[in-house]
Amino acid sequence: MTCLAIRQGVVFSRIPSQFLIMFDPYFFGYGSLVNRATHEYRSCHPAKLTGWKRAWRHTSLRPVAYLTAVPAAGVTIQGLIAAVPSANWVALDEREHAYDRHATPHVAHPLDPKTDVQVYAIAAGKHLAPTSNHPILLSYLDVVVQGYLREFGTKGVKDFFETTDGWDAPIKDDRREPIYPRHQKLDHGETQYVDEMLAAMGANILR
């Protein structure tokens, strides 16, 4: 039952705590965050973000190249949204320290339309094209493709490659000694599929 309190002629409504609902914000992941094995955020849902695409870029804050989202009118990318409990962004902001966090209303998902969804992206003017000194890590790309395979199947992976710029960037083959800190073990089929997609793109693999 809702209780009323009267203080100095003002009526206050006291709502029992079990009826108070706090809506957690969500992040939209479009790279490694699509792979659920790389994080502990469990309230996850497939989603689509419109007005952005991915690009391989590097920044002075990191020695190698990673994915970032960049504005792109009319482009839609698939990804994963996940709740950030109690809006505690500290751990995720630390993980994504090279990125700024942006609120974005252009996310299609199965939740309440008013859900707060945010996306990480490197600020314009603070990222450059990858080079042989700042390559993409194959161990990172493996994680991303594994995540898309598990969430969206082979069609989702093809969409990922098609809606990502910068495939002329050098890719360092570090599978035997992974450098990416959240690297995952791929099975033979997953590894073979990554290799086939890269071959189709004419990727420059540094061995």
Q: Taking the alpha carbons of 84, 90, 91, 94 in that order, is the dihedral positive or negative?
A: positive
15 has a pLDDT exceeding 70: no
11 has a pLDDT exceeding 70: no
Domain assignment present for 134 = yes
Domain assignment present for 146 = yes
- pLDDT at residue 93 in the model: 95
**163-172 pLDDT, tens digit each:** 999 999 999 9
Where residue 150 sits, what CATH number does that domain have? 3.10.490.10
Residue type, 161: F
Domain assignment present for 200 = yes
Confidence of residue 22 (pLDDT cuts 50, 70, 90): low
88 has a pLDDT exceeding 90: yes
| Half-sphere CA count of 181, side-chain side, radius 13 A | 5
Domain assignment present for 50 = yes
Domain assignment present for 14 = no
Distances (CA, A) of 142 to 136, 157, 168: 11, 11, 17
**Is the CB of residue 138 less than 8 Å from the CB of residue 120?**
no
* List of E strands, the chain: 3-7, 10-14, 26-29, 44-57, 66-83, 100-103, 107-108, 117-121, 136-137, 164-165, 170-172, 204-206
Domain that holds residue 60: 26-206
Q: Residue 128 gets which letter from DSSP?
A: B
* List of E strands, 138-196: 164-165, 170-172
Domain assignment present for 3 = no
**104-147 pLDDT, tens digit each:** 889 999 999 999 999 999 998 899 999 999 999 999 999 999 99
Mean pLDDT for the stretch of residues 48-54:
96
Domains of the chain: total: 1
Domain assignment present for 16 = no
- pLDDT at residue 85 in the model: 95
Domain assignment present for 15 = no
**Is the CB of residue 58 less than 8 Å from the CB of residue 130?**
yes
pTM greater than the 0.85 cutoff: yes
- pLDDT at residue 23 in the model: 85
